Chain A
């Protein structure tokens, strides 16, 4: 069991470039989440998917889009990266909404 995997681990983008962060879980969980962690801010929810086929905005959704590709995979897309999106991004999953969440190892993104 790999749990929650994220790719890539590190990425450097120039302002205006686009990229997709990939996340997959092998625990047959229904719910998946994307968070960002900034210094002094804790983790903040960007988007979540309570079940396959549904997505909803979290606390800080602006500048991001998501796709729940299937039950296993939940991707996060930055269409036009900005320096303010420099952060560490965590994907998480849970059996159902509200259950304890299992986190991936994170993607460290730098936008210059």
Chain B
């Protein structure tokens, strides 16, 4: 049972345009969400997070939006750059401080120069 779903395995975006990566979850107990970015042959690196008490969090070119009623979050990257080409994982926690992260299956983002 996949509790965190990333339904788009891949996404291609022109350089300079907006990239939107989507994530859906089924467990209403999740209240903290994170995005990780992974380059080939490297481990994932933390990108941005959001608590369920917020509906938006920004960090530079990266913004995460949370729609709790729809159990949906999205990561926006504006403007997209070639270095953004990577696999992006959405992850969720029940209670901040809980060790267990549930990861989605990932979306491979390719930025076209």
Contacts and interface: CB of A to CB of B under 8 A. Distances in A.
Contacts of B41: 105-106
Contacts of B49: 100
A97 interface: yes
A74 interface: no
Contacts of A40: 105
A100 B43 contact: no
B30 to A, nearest CB: 13
A31 B99 contact: yes
Interface string A91-103: 0100011101111
Interface residues of A, number: 26
Given A40-B105, A42-B103, A43-B89, A98 B43 contact: no
20 contacts: A40-B105, A42-B2, A42-B4, A44-B103, A45-B99, A45-B101, A56-B99, A58-B100, A90-B44, A96-B97, A97-B99, A98-B93, A98-B98, A100-B34, A101-B101, A102-B45, A104-B43, A105-B42, A106-B41, A106-B43
Interface of A: 4, 31, 33, 40-45, 48, 50, 56, 58-59, 90, 92, 96-98, 100-106
